[in-house]
Amino acid sequence: MTFHKEGYTSLALCVLVILLLNAFAHYYFYDKTWLIWSIYILSFVLFVIIVQFFRSPRIVTTAHDDHVICPADGKVVVIEEADETEYLKDKRIQVSIFMSPVNVHVNRHPVSGVVKYFKYHPGKYLVAWHPKSSTENERTTVVVETVAGIPVLFRQIAGALARRIVWYVKEGDVANQGEQFGFIKFGSRVDVFLPVGTKINVNLGDMVKGGITVLAELKS
């Protein structure tokens, strides 16, 4: 388990707040032991929350050309046919994973191939499970074409708490299944759009692991 690079600033701010809070308490409330210990406990809880949110576990992805690996830790909240109107412009199977604040927020490539399309969209901050969050929230859209020529589209979607999406991809990049392509802070969602007829290996409500769970199997 390592600490993700996207959390360095947040951790530094957390430590600064803790130091200032404790210094203030010791200076003004040195005779109130119960209050000082309450601040110690609050400081510890705040530190643990930041550390656990930005944790980045070491995982080993078993790569397979026909498999679609889950791009994020979380819960499957959508499995349905939907029209993809931004790039593919046809009907697809949409599978959505909701990441709560306690999940690992690293995002990983679901398939290997070449990045054919990337776009960042500023937008709203509706709750991540809202039906319109996929098209109206702050988000990125990535399309990777597999070695079999199958385009797989996936989106990072900011939620009500998430205010920053980070991505590490651009058009023309080589995508390796299981490698990190981004990070979303403080609650969010990832949508994957697959060809109709794709075998889906998960069910609504399933808890899934990014880079490990086989979300679906593509038809070669």
> Could you list the pLDDT tens digit for every one of the 220 residues in the chain?
687 677 788 778 888 988 888 888 777 777 777 777 888 888 888 888 778 777 777 888 888 999 999 999 999 999 999 999 999 999 999 999 998 878 878 899 999 999 999 999 987 666 655 556 666 778 899 999 999 999 999 999 886 665 578 899 999 999 999 999 998 876 688 999 999 999 999 999 999 999 999 999 998 6
* Dihedral, 58, 97, 71, 84 alpha carbons, nearest 10: -170
What's the whole-model pTM score?
A: 0.83
Please indicate whether residue 188 is annotated as part of the active site: yes
Q: Which long-range contacts (CB under 8 A, 24 or more apart) does 43-51 make?
A: 43/18, 46/14, 46/17, 46/18, 47/14, 47/15, 47/18, 50/7, 50/10, 50/11, 50/14, 51/3, 51/7, 51/11
How do residues 149-166 score in pLDDT, each as one tens digit? Answer: 999 999 998 866 655 788
Catalytic residue among 43, 112, 134, 188: 188
Give all strands of the β-sheet with 139-145 in edge-to-edge order. Answer: 174-175, 113-121, 139-145, 151-158, 188-195, 90-99, 74-84, 207-208
Taking the CA atoms of 69, 71, 72 and 74 in sequence, report the sign of the dihedral they define. Answer: negative
pLDDT given at position 109? 96
Domain boundaries, the chain: 2-56, 67-217
pLDDT given at position 132? 61
pLDDT given at position 195? 95
> Quick check: 157 and 189 in contact, CB under 8 A?
yes
**What type of residue sits at position 17?**
V
Beta strands in 30-105 (DSSP E): 55-56, 67-69, 74-84, 90-99
How do residues 156-212 score in pLDDT, each as one tens digit? Answer: 988 666 557 889 999 999 999 999 999 887 668 899 999 999 999 999 999 999 999
Domain 67-217 sits in CATH 3.10.20.600: no
